[in-house]
Structure 1
Amino acid sequence: MNNISYIALLALLSGPVLADETNNSTTQNEKPKRVQTFGDLLDPDLPGVLTPKGSFVLDTSFSFTQNSSNTVNVVGYTVLPALIVGLIEASDTDRTTLTFGLTGRYGITNRLEVEARIPWVYRYDSISRRANDGQPSTAPETQTFSDSDLGDLEAAFKYQINMTGAPYWIAGVRFKSTTGRSPFETSGDELSTGSGFPSIEPNLTMIMPLDPAVIYANLSYIWNIKDDVSFDDADGNRQSVELDLGDTIGFSAGMGFSVNPKFSFSLGLSHKTIFKTKQDGQNVDNAKLLQLSSMSMGANYAINPETTLNVGINAGLTADAPDFQLTVRVPYTLK
């Protein structure tokens, strides 16, 4: 079970937390082993907290994300603070995203691992509009869109800085491609399945064992590489501009706690700040600074020494964050 320490780290960063499954085989003259905790999982005698050298982890995942927004558009003027003359349009937008992911991790050395992820994205959007122009209320006009396609492929490297002496530090870098359908490549009722821009994400993770729990924190910065895009304006004219999506600073922290050798849970908070988008080097008029905060809860069950079941839930705490996200992961270790 040389992969147990890595799985604990992986579960911590993804939501659920894993406890070790100890060897239950004892003789009549032997005392049963103590329940292994997170402090044991990060023992210096073990290879490390990343994928051990020569081991491969195949991680299948399913994610359900629900996001909704309500907006009111007014075309007219105000006579009194409570009296508006003109056209009032209210819209309700519901966006559902299902993501099926296949991730592979391989331990090059006990301190270095490489990771690759292939996502498949299904989207379903529903937009309802109701106009109030002084006439009797009418039924809302509802439009639905659905689409699916390959998402943005990702690759990552992680390196464990120190092997002994807590806290443990892991540095990493993640690369995101543009294999998914860009928002600027859609037409008609098509929906995007990717951001349309490549990105590089350096990150640093701290893990502090406090028997029988583990405290973790992660700091990341997403650099979106600017690119030229083309789109049709309101008059139907084709425009080509240089677009620079706002970079993102992210921070998350939480705690994982082992209940028994097979079951554990975790609690955490995360926050992301997305800077304003720039067009041709200038700030976009309607661009705004986004603040995304969410609370996460997770549970982990060790099916056997090679397979675990992770279930994580994220709830948005700010208006810009997704309302709800459910993630189910099943990592399987091949030695």
Structure 2
Amino acid sequence: MSLLFLAAVNVSPEAMAQGANDEVVREAQPSQSVQNVLREEHALFSDRLTIEPGISYSYSDRSNLALSGFLALDAIFLGNINVDTVESHTTTFDLSTRYGITNRLEVELMIPYVYRSSQYETIGAGASTGGLVEESVSQGDLGDISAGIYYRLLPEAEVRPDVVWNFSVRAPTGKHPYDIRTNSRIVDDGEGGFENLTVPTSLPTGNGVWGVSSGLSFLKTVDPAIIFANIGYTHNIKRSFDDIGSSEEDVPGEVNLGDSIRLGFGTAFALNERFSLSMSFTHQHAFETKVTTDGGPEQTVIGSSANAASVNFGATYGLSDTTSIVTSVGIGLTDDAPDLTLDFRIPFQI
């Protein structure tokens, strides 16, 4: 789904075979460092099977402040203060396989396993700003499996970037979030107690609906840099569930998960035959989700739209002609983006 512009294709001496009389010339191939960037940011179209195990970690936290009282003398707040904080840790183990059927067509399959852990905290227990209540919830399960194809529309020319169209399908194989029950912590306030902190009993590992995505990626060689950009759109298909509520009573209904549009751009530098550095910007906007209970009208879920933007820094190193190490660090720029993302992958060809 990446729209990429790439530059700096280094050519190794081995990539050219030339006879003594210059009668036989073989097309130059990108260096190992450039191939790594192509694989991660665009499409390599290699006629060898690429297997890429990886692990990624993301961290985010969000705080909500609730005030119940009034402001005295325009400076002093009199009343109750309640602060809710959610810290989320998500670790994804995935296995991706890619194969270039031709020099213009590549297929991909990705299978993830997702482990999530969230800690919920609230200040204001017992009507006291010093009272703290916390609860942790964790969940590990198969994520949403996806499969896709990449097709080269236009090869790179002197004044034209390499243009690749991509299409993928995401299956709802992960645990969906639409029937997860909630529990409330009972906090003793000296008068019999009250509900102060509500947390889910488990966490989702998938979206729960089928999704189809399409996009374009562009790459252009601008020696000595590799410049890239990408744009794509994801459509989530409506799906009915036997229960979409969080209470003990089943609430049948239909979920229309909001579609999303994404874009990104960046640059990479192949410093030598095996090592490259990259930096990029990515942004994704998710539209609002709508739900319809049986016999009821369609309702928009307030606060379900999101804007996630981040800046990313990466590095690749070729251990050999068939194996590489790929790392990246992402820093969130908006409230909806993870605060920190770490990614580590080891693609190898067979």
Under TM normalisation by the shorter chain, which class is it?
Answer: 0.7 to 0.9
Return the offset for 1:100. 0.6
> 1:79, CA displacement in angstroms?
5.0
Deviations 1:94-133 (A, max 9, x none): 1101111101111121111110011011111111111166
Contact 1:38 1:209 in 2 (8 A): no
Tell me the distance in 1 between the aligned counterparts of 2:136 and 2:214. Answer: 37
Hey, what does 1:3 align to over in structure 2? none
The answer to whether the Cα contact below 8 Å between 2:331 and 2:341 also exists between their aligned partners in 1 is yes
Which residue number in structure 2 is paired with residue 277 of structure 1? 289
For residues 80-99 of structure 1, the aligned pairs below 5 Å read: 80=72, 82=75, 84=77, 86-99=79-92
Q: Deviations over 1:161-180 (max 9, x none)?
A: 12351300000011111111
* Secondary structure of the structure 1 residue equivalent to 2:70: strand
Give the Cα–Cα distance (whole angstroms) in 2 for the partners of residues 67 and 19 of structure 1: 38
Do the aligned partners of residues 18 and 325 (structure 1) sit closer, same or farther apart at CA in structure 2, a change above 3 Å counting? farther
1:176 matched to 2:170? The reply is: yes
- SS state at 2:347 partner: strand
Give, as a single letter, the amino acid of the residue that structure 2 aligns with 1:182: H
Match of 2:280 in 1: 268
Instruction: Identify the match of residue 58 of structure 1 among 51, 60, 64.
Output: 51
Query: What's 2:117 paired with?
Result: 124
Is the Cα contact below 8 Å between 2:9 and 2:31 reproduced in 1? Answer: no
Please name the residue that 1:292 is paired with.
308
Match of 2:327 in 1: 311
The question of whether the paired residues in 2 share the 8 Å contact of 1:39 and 1:213 is answered with no
| Maintained 8 Å contact 1:18/1:302 | no
Q: Does structure 2 conserve the Cα–Cα contact (< 8 Å) formed by 1:262 and 1:302? A: yes
The separation in 2 between residues aligned to 1:221 and 1:186, in whole angstroms, is: 28
C-alpha distance in 2 between matches for 1:67 and 1:214: 31
Residue 253 (str. 1) matches residue 294 (str. 2): no
Could you say what secondary structure the match of 1:246 adopts?
coil
CA distance in 1, matches of 2:111, 2:283: 25
Say whether residues 1:163 and 2:152 are aligned partners. Answer: no
CA–CA distance in structure 1, aligned partners of residues 310 and 166 of structure 2 = 23
Identity percentage over the alignment? 27
What is the Cα deviation at residue 68 of structure 1? 0.7
Secondary structure in 1 aligned to 2:346? strand
Q: Which residue of 2 aligns with 1:149?
A: 141
2:240 maps to what in 1? Answer: 228
Map of 1:243 onto structure 2:
255
Q: For each residue in 1:166-214, what CA deviation from the matched residue of structure 2 results, as whole angstroms up to 9, or x when unmatched?
A: 3000000111111111112444632211111111110100001101211
Shift in CA distance, 51/185, structure 1 to aligned 2, threshold 3 Å: farther
| Structure 2 residue aligned with 1:44 | none
Q: Using the alignment, how far apart are the partners of 2:251 and 2:43 within structure 1?
A: 50
Distance 1:237-1:39 versus aligned 2 partners, 3 A rule: closer
Structure 1 gap segments, 5+ residues each: 1-8, 42-47
Whole-angstrom distance in 2 between the partners of 1:35 and 1:237: 62
- Note if 1:323 corresponds to 2:316: no
| Deviating more after overlay: 86-95 vs 290-299 | 86-95
Given that residues 53 and 95 in structure 2 are in contact (C-alpha distance below 8 angstroms), is that contact kept between their aligned partners in structure 1? yes
Match of 2:25 in 1: none
Question: What is the rounded CA distance, in whole Å, between the counterparts of 1:65 and 1:86 in structure 2?
Answer: 36
Distance 2:163 2:30 in 1: 22
3-state DSSP of counterpart to 1:183:
coil
Write the distance in 2 (CA, Å) between the matches of 1:20 and 1:190. Answer: 52
- The letter for the 2-side match of 1:301 is Y
Q: Aligned residue pairs: how many?
A: 306
The structure-2 alpha-carbon separation of the partners of 1:19 and 1:179, relative to structure 1 and needing over 3 Å to count, comes to farther
The Cα offsets for residues 33-65 of structure 1, whole Å up to 9 and x where unpaired, read as x99769997xxxxxx953233x21000101011
Change (3 A) 1:325 1:242: same
Report what 1:67 is aligned to: 60
Partner Cα separation in structure 2 for residue 135 and residue 279 of structure 1:
37
CA positional deviation for 1:296: 0.5
Cα pair distance change 1:19/1:156, threshold 3 Å: farther
For structure 2, the 5+ residue unaligned runs are 21-27, 36-41, 182-199
Which residue identity lines up with residue 177 of structure 2 in the other structure? P
